[in-house]
């Protein structure tokens, strides 16, 4: 009759992984609320396509490529952890950080050329949304870069808690997914 388990009754998923996924669930709601507000505002107003045409699709496409590639290097860092390859881990983490910084650099270039062309957050509702959404996303990228940089430093000293790479990766891929949606929302429609 007794159904007592021999060990803990808790599921055998890593606590860190459960925690990160819960955190990401709340992040989905944050970006989802913002994107949902953008979608309904855009559908409810006219003339936003004309505003969006001022954005540079090629630059944003290159930035998308950068972020997608950084996702690959991040997951390869995790692959290196699994294979027990500390050199590979350091290399891929370094590449991920570099690609993240490249993304922010290109984004900064975009911002400055748009502001120079006279499009600031107060130019109109489209631009308010554009700067708020990409700005919030850029802050998330920055947080990811700092996390990955910290992991890189730890990896140089010999990372002990190795599943941290997997957890940081989950966050980094989430930030990538947000951009996968921001790109068509803002640039392609």
Our finding on whether 9 is near another protein (CB under 8 A) is yes
**Residue from 118, 122, 157, 158 that binds another protein (CB under 8 A)?**
122
Nearest to 36 by CA among 129, 171, 140, 123: 129
Our finding on whether 121 is near another protein (CB under 8 A) is yes
State the Cα–Cα distance between residues 144 and 26, nearest whole angstrom. 17
The nearest distance, CB 144 to another protein, in angstroms, is: 14
Q: Which is nearer to another protein, 10 or 118 (CB)?
A: 10
Which range, of 26-34, 95-103, 104-112, 143-151, touches another protein by CB under 8 A? Answer: 26-34
Our finding on whether 51 is near another protein (CB under 8 A) is no
Our finding on whether 61 is near another protein (CB under 8 A) is yes
Which range, of 65-73, 96-104, 108-116, 141-149, touches another protein by CB under 8 A? Answer: 65-73
Contact letters for another protein, residues 132-171 (x by CB under 8 A): x---x-------------------------xx--x--xx-
**Residue from 56, 86, 106, 124 that binds another protein (CB under 8 A)?**
124
Please provide the DSSP assignment of 131-166 as one string: HHHHHHHHHHHHHHHHHHHHHHHHHHT--SSTHHHH
Contact letters for another protein, residues 72-111 (x by CB under 8 A): x-xxx--x--x-----------------------------
Per rule CB under 8 A, count of chain residues that contact another protein: 77
């Amino acid at each position: 009759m007794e159904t007592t388990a021999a060990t803990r009754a808790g599921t055998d998923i890593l606590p860190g992984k459960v925690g990160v996924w819960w955190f990401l669930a709340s992040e989905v709601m944050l970006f989802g609320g913002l994107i949902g507000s953008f979608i309904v505002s855009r559908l409810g107003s006219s003339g936003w396509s004309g505003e969006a045409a001022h954005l540079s699709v090629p630059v944003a496409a290159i930035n998308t490529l950068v972020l997608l590639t950084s996702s690959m290097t991040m997951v390869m860092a995790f692959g290196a952890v699994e294979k027990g390859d500390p050199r590979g881990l350091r290399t891929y983490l370094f590449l991920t950080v570099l690609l993240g910084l490249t993304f922010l650099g290109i984004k900064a270039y975009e911002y400055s050329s748009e502001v120079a062309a006279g499009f600031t957050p107060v130019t109109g509702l489209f631009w308010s949304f554009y700067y708020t959404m990409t700005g919030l996303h850029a802050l998330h990228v920055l947080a990811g870069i700092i996390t990955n940089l910290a992991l890189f430093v730890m990896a140089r000293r010999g990372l002990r808690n190795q599943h941290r790479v997997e957890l940081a990766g989950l966050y980094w891929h989430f930030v990538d997914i947000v951009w996968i949606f921001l790109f068509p929302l803002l640039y392609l429609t």
